[in-house]
Amino acid sequence: MTINSELDMLISGGMTLTMSGHMEIIENSEIGIKNGKIIFAQKKDDLTTCRAKKTLDASGCIIIPGLVNTHTHAPMVYFRGLSDDLPLMDWLDTYIFPAEARFVNAEMVYHSSLLAIAEMILAGTTTFCDGYFFEAGVARAAIESGIRAMVANGFADFPTPEISDPAKNEYVARSFVEKWTGISPLVSPALFCHAPYTCSPKTLRKIKEVARNTGAFFLTHVAETKNEVQEIKDRYGKTPVRHLHHLGVLDEKTIAAHCNWVDKEEIKILADCGAGVSHNPESSMKLAAGIAPVPAMLEKGVTVGLGTDGCASNNDHDLFTEMDSAAKVHKIMGMNPAVMDAKTVLKMATINGAKALGLESMIGSIEPGKCADIIILDMNKPHLTPMYNPYSHLVYAVKGSDVSHSIINGRLVMENRKLLNLDLDKIMARANEESMKIRKWLSERESDPVS
């Protein structure tokens, strides 16, 4: 094959796991990239003639699509480890909500998002879906870093750090989507109602209506805890998924995070409506919130992606360790070592995650015509030697720190573990400086809980 025009980038050598429909594995592969797109992905051929502005030698490496984090709260990285080992509602009401009221503002969101994005890129994530307040700051940070992001502005029926009067929710929602639509090919705006227990039926319907009218995605936490299910039943006479279905907010542009406590009928509702689910096993295990019946969801055709949740409840953004947890927790839950095999879990972190975000035609697999969102993993490590099954290795042995290169939309954003668009030392210094204020507040609060 002869390529007449010069490529922007050529990835030469290594093993490519395409994650395409047929799950092709290309040994000794080469991938051509131009104008942000994958031109070819094939077995390396000595007869191939092509020129490239930059060539990456991936010999001895594994190449896969960039990972897709379908649910997180990036700015909460500043609250990493703030107060661990507590039940969800105690954790939220006693620590997180007061901390957010005290410290969350537009600048905090921007700077903390830079830290979260740096962590994600270093661990192989090339696309993330975020829900928080002041999401314009997340969007700014995403654009500067070169990562792909769906940024969802958050809403509740009580005053938030961003919106003091909940009556303005609908106006803020519409303004946010209109402002950020088309600003960058890498960033798409969305809307995030925190949960059915913090958002009234009216709020859920109104925000979903704005989302439908603007073509935006709609996010919400759903059935995260057993207590939440009972609370929604007590209020509305229905379980959370039935409640949302009754309100008409579930469709193919809805992402339901967690879904730990859903029954067979609710799984069918999610499948019939086309709603995507974000599975966040590590956060749910840490909070003892429950574990979603993912094998049953997959069996019924629900699109399930993988998410880390925020660093306040996880405490990291490493989707490789999340894959490991996702595979193992369902094996022990079902007492079946064959359930949630490595291929299935890797699909959740790549092509299925892309599908949940409505991006499967653009990303999630390595195929000609798709955007070049690709990561390269250095397999020359003691903990990765020897290797018999690459899928098994990626889920059970690889860590985020094994990612050596990250390419997003055809551009290198990390090369040999060095971030190219972000000043990591400066970002971490800012985080440590801000943490001193939070640490002082926490100390004062624990000595005088009324404060």
pLDDT digits (tens, 9 = 90+) for 161-178: 999 999 999 999 999 999
Give yes or no for a contact between 218 and 207, defined as CB atoms under 8 angstroms apart: yes
C-alpha neighbours within 13 Å on the C-beta side of residue 76:
27
Side-chain-side CA neighbours of residue 214 (13 Å): 25
For residue 378, what are the contacts with CB-CB under 8 A and spacing of at least 6? 60, 61, 402, 403, 404
State yes or no: pLDDT of 47 exceeds 90. no
pLDDT band at 92 (very low <50, low <70, confident <90, very high): confident
Residue 46 has pLDDT above 70, yes or no: no
- In terms of Cα–Cα distance, which of 401, 419, 421, 404 is closest to 56? 404
33-37-42 Cα angle (round to 5): 55
**Peptide bond between residue 98 and the one before it cis (omega within 30 degrees of 0):** no
Q: How confident is the model at residue 449 (pLDDT cuts 50, 70, 90)?
A: low
Helix, strand counts (H, E) of the chain: 16, 19
Q: How far apart are CA 362 and CA 246, in angstroms?
A: 32
Q: What is the mean pLDDT of the chain?
A: 96
For residue 68 the two structure tokens come to 């897709």
Other CB atoms within a 10 A radius of the CB of residue 2 amount to 7
pLDDT band at 446 (very low <50, low <70, confident <90, very high): confident
304: Cβ contacts below 8 Å, ≥ 6 apart: 276, 277, 278, 279, 292, 294, 297, 298, 348, 352, 356
> Which two three-digit tokens encode residue 43?
């077995």
